[in-house]
Amino acid sequence: MKDKKKVAVLGAGTMGTGIGQTFAMAGCDVTLICMYDDLTRSKPMETMESNLKVLAENDALDPARIPEILAQVSLTESMEEGARDADIIFECVVEDLAVKQDYFAKLDAICPPETILATNTSVISVTEIAEKSVHKERIIGTHFWNPAYLVPLVEVIKTKYVSETVVKETYDLLEKANKCPVIVQKDVPGFLANRMQHALFREAISIVERGIASAEDVDKAIKYGFGMRLGVRAPMEVIDAGGTDLTYNIHEYLFPHIENSTEPSKLLKEKLDEGKLGFKSGEGFMKWSRQDIEKSQKDLIEGLIKVARALDRL
């Protein structure tokens, strides 16, 4: 990466470590600011090294680069020390508005005005996160997707305060780090991709709840059907390819019959009340043994590597 940047990440859990790894792989100097029990629970350096080894084992990374990448990363438990010289800071702490507001107010007071302050929140209003800060124009949303070092998408969320210079600098930095940034022009709940993803989840749960198909067959229909196509031809292109007239006719007929609830599903609430929390408890919509969970997680990483390679996105 030209014009080498100094990147700091506040919070070294799963997302923070993945974001730090992303920029270290792109040649940036990275400081992980460890919070709470990050060092003992998340073990960021061990996690990062393990991630890099999986990439190497799947021929997605030259193993000789692993020591070089890890050498780009330093750890600190001092926010002041980690933030002092950073060009951009990515916040990855708990999804709590008040907590994020307080951290951004502290960072805003510590950092020079030119330092960009970015939040990785997946749902909270970035505009609200900025409210307690003085230099609101340098606060922006950058929603990475897990695993951050593999999924190219980053949603760059504008606020009503952010400057266009900050938007451009953030976008350019993400591109140089081999990510695929998209601009979310309005700071709305769910931003861009989660709005679409959870609209799909709502219909998927509804299909199971109404006895139309099993949870297993819902997933198969996506994995072996339109899900295979989405990485090559996504909805707006599909609509144009088939014709807006065809899409209109389908929607006119279909929309009265699909889920439009503004509340979470009753079936989902039942699962919650029964303690059926998915991987966490061993059962959700489907049953999961420890071996099933380990296989699912392994398949996800290796599958993403294969997909990314096939689509020339790695």
* String of DSSP letters for 151-210: --EEEEE--SS--HHHHHHHHHHHHHTT-EEEEE-S--TTTTHHHHHHHHHHHHHHHHHT
Task: List Cβ neighbours of 16 (8 Å cut-off, separation of 6 or more).
Answer: 9, 10, 32, 38, 42, 44, 90, 92, 120
CA dist., res. 298 & res. 60, Å (int): 15
Confidence of residue 244 (pLDDT cuts 50, 70, 90): very high
Catalytic residues: 122, 143, 155, 194
**167-209, pLDDT tens digit by residue?**
999 999 999 999 999 999 999 999 999 999 999 999 999 999 9
pLDDT digits (tens, 9 = 90+) for 57-86: 999 999 999 999 999 999 999 999 999 899
